[in-house]
C-alpha cells in the first residue's frame, strides 16, 4: 500500500515539474504580481519617499503672503510642489501627471489679510484635482489650510504691510454696522495693540516670527512586528498572491483528475488493488507538496529580493503553508468530484477561486472591508490563510497565533476531502 502511495505521489510531482510552462506559470506569475502589488501599495518600509503627492501651484498673486504659502508648501515632506501656469496646470491634472493643482488668485494676500481681522469677503483658492485621487486632494487641502493660516497670520502680525493692514481694518470697523456696539471698543483696542506691537517689533530680530501657527504636529507609526521594523507591503502581497496561485494549482488538480478519467488512466489505476482514499489521498498529498514548494519558493524570493522576513514563528509559517496547501489539494479533489467535464468545470472553478481570493483579502486587505463583510469572510478559508501568513510574516506573531488558522484550514481540508470522496463518481 505504501509502495503504491509513494509511487503515485512521485508520479504527480514528476508530472508537475515535467511541464515547464506550468511550473513557470505557477511560480513566476505570483512572484510578478506580488512584486507589483507590493511596490504599488507600500513597498518595503518608510512610505514618504514613495508616496509624495505631485502638486502644482499657480501663483497669480505674487504677494508676500502668496510667496509665503508657496515656500511653506514646498517645504512639506508629503508633497512635491512645482510652479505652473493656469493652462499647464489644468492639462497636467487632466493627464494624471499631477494629482492636485491649487491656484492663488490675484490680490489674494491683500484680501485674505483683511478677512483675517474683519468679516470682509473671503478670497478663494481653487483646487484642481484628479477625481481618482480624492483622498490625496483632501490631504493637500488640509496641508494647504495650515500653511495659509500661518502665512496670513505672520503677515498680519509684523509683516511689511502690517501697519497699513491694521489701519484699513480699523477703518472697516468704523464703517461696519453689523457688530454689536458694546463689542466695538474691545476690538478697536485689540487692533490698536497689534498696530503698536507691529511698530515696536519692526526690524527687531526674533520678533518677526510671531503669528498664528498650527499648534500641533503629527507623528505616524505603522504598527508592525516591533518598533523600528517597518511594514513590508511585499510580505502581505506575497502571501496573498501565493494563496491565489496555489488555489489555481488546486483547480489544475481537479482538471487533471477529470482529464485522467476521460483518458482512461483513472480506470487503469483503479484496476490495481488500491483503496479510493489511496487514489485520491495520494493526489492530495502530491498537490500539497507542489503547493508547499511554490509558497516556500515565493517567500525565499521575497526574502532575497525585497527583504521580506518571517518576523514571527518559522514553524508557524511553515505550518500555515502546509495546512493551506492541504486545503487547496482537497479543494481540487472537490472540483473533480463535483465537475462533469473539464471544460464545463474550469470556468466555474476559476470564478469560485477568485471569489475566495477576493473575500480572503489577497487583493485588498480585509481590514478595509465593511464590518459585516469582515465577519462574514471568516467563513472563507483563504481569509485564514492570508491573515495567518500576515501574522507570521510582518506582524511577527508567535507560534500560538498560527494554531487558529492552521486548525481552521485543516478543518476545511478534511471537510472538502470527505465530501470529495463521498461525491466522486468512480465508475464511468
Partner 1 sequence: MLEVKGLRKSFGPLAAVDGVSLRARAGEMVGLLGPNGAGKTTTVSMIAGLLRPDAGEVLIAGRPLGGDTDPAKRNIGLVPQQIALYEELPAGENLALFAALYGLEGSAGRRAIGSALDFVGLADRGKDRVATFSGGMKRRLNLAAALLHDPELLLLDEPTVGVDPQSRNAIFDNLEALKKRGKALLYTTHYMEEAERLCDRLVIIDHGKVVADDTMHGLYRLLPAANMLSVELDEAEDGAGLDALRRLPEVQSLEKRGAGLRIGVRELAATPKVLAWLLDHGYSYQHVASERADLETVFLSLTGRSLRD
The residues binding partner 1 (CB under 8 A) are 3-4, 6-8, 10-11, 14-15, 18-19, 263-265, 267-276, 427
Which among 41, 39, 46 is positioned nearest to 365, based on CA atoms? 41
Residues 6+ apart with CB under 8 A from 386: 236, 239, 240, 243, 360, 361, 362, 366
Nearer to partner 1, 43 or 256 (CB): 256
Nearer to partner 1, 206 or 264 (CB): 264
Nearer to partner 1, 2 or 367 (CB): 2
Nearer to partner 1, 25 or 210 (CB): 25
Nearer to partner 1, 4 or 173 (CB): 4
Which among 372, 369, 30 is positioned nearest to 387, based on CA atoms? 369
Long-range CB contacts for residues 86-89, cutoff 8 Å, separation at least 24: 86/58, 86/60, 88/56, 89/56, 89/58, 89/128
Set of cell numbers at residue 292: 508547499
State whether residue 2 is helix, strand or coil: helix
Q: What is the smallest separation between the CB atom of 393 and partner 1, expressed in angstroms?
A: 35
Q: Find out whether 115 and 149 touch, Cβ atoms under 8 Å.
A: no
Q: What is the smallest separation between the CB atom of 276 and partner 1, expressed in angstroms?
A: 6
Nearer to partner 1, 316 or 342 (CB): 342
Instruction: State residue 45 phi and psi, 5-degree precision.
Output: 75, 165
Set of cell numbers at residue 359: 473575500
Q: Find out whether 215 and 200 touch, Cβ atoms under 8 Å.
A: no
Amino acid at each position: 500500500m505504501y509502495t503504491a502511495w509513494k509511487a503515485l505521489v512521485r508520479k504527480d510531482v514528476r508530472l508537475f515539474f515535467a511541464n515547464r510552462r506550468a511550473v513557470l506559470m505557477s511560480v513566476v506569475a505570483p512572484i510578478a504580481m506580488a512584486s507589483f502589488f507590493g511596490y504599488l501599495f507600500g513597498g518595503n518600509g518608510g512610505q514618504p519617499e514613495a508616496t509624495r503627492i505631485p502638486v502644482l501651484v499657480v501663483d497669480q498673486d505674487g504677494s508676500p503672503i502668496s510667496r509665503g504659502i508657496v515656500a511653506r508648501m514646498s517645504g512639506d515632506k508629503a508633497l512635491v510642489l512645482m510652479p505652473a501656469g493656469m493652462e499647464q496646470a489644468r492639462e497636467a491634472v487632466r493627464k494624471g501627471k499631477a494629482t492636485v493643482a491649487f491656484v492663488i488668485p490675484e490680490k489674494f494676500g491683500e484680501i485674505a489679510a483683511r478677512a483675517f481681522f474683519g468679516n470682509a469677503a473671503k478670497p478663494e483658492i481653487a483646487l484642481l484635482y484628479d477625481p481618482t485621487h480624492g483622498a490625496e486632494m483632501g490631504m493637500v487641502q488640509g496641508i494647504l489650510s495650515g500653511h495659509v493660516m500661518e502665512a496670513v497670520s505672520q503677515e498680519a502680525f509684523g509683516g511689511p504691510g502690517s501697519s497699513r493692514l491694521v489701519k484699513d481694518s480699523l477703518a472697516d470697523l468704523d464703517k461696519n454696522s453689523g457688530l454689536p456696539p458694546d463689542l466695538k471698543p474691545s476690538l478697536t483696542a485689540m487692533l490698536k495693540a497689534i498696530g503698536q506691537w507691529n511698530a515696536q517689533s519692526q526690524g527687531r530680530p526674533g520678533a518677526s516670527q510671531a503669528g498664528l501657527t498650527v499648534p500641533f504636529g503629527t507623528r505616524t507609526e505603522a504598527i508592525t512586528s516591533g518598533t523600528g521594523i517597518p511594514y513590508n507591503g511585499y510580505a502581505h502581497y506575497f502571501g496573498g498572491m501565493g494563496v491565489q496561485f496555489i488555489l489555481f494549482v488546486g483547480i489544475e488538480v481537479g482538471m487533471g483528475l477529470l482529464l485522467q478519467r476521460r483518458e482512461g488512466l483513472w480506470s487503469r489505476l483503479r484496476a490495481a488493488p488500491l483503496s479510493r482514499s489511496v487514489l485520491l489521498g495520494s493526489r492530495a498529498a502530491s498537490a500539497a507538496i507542489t503547493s508547499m514548494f511554490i509558497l516556500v519558493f515565493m517567500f525565499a524570493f521575497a526574502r532575497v529580493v525585497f527583504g521580506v522576513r518571517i518576523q514571527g514563528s518559522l514553524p508557524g509559517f511553515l505550518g500555515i503553508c502546509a495546512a493551506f496547501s492541504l486545503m487547496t489539494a482537497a479543494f481540487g479533489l472537490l472540483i473533480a468530484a463535483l465537475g462533469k467535464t473539464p471544460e464545463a468545470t474550469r470556468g466555474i472553478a476559476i470564478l469560485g477561486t477568485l471569489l475566495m481570493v477576493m473575500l480572503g483579502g489577497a487583493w485588498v486587505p480585509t481590514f478595509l472591508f465593511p464590518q459585516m463583510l469582515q465577519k462574514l469572510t471568516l467563513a472563507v478559508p483563504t481569509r485564514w490563510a492570508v491573515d495567518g501568513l500576515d501574522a507570521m510574516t510582518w506582524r511577527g506573531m508567535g507560534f500560538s497565533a498560527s494554531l487558529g488558522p492552521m486548525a481552521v484550514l485543516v478543518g476545511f481540508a478534511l471537510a472538502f476531502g470527505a465530501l470529495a470522496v463521498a461525491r466522486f463518481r468512480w465508475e464511468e
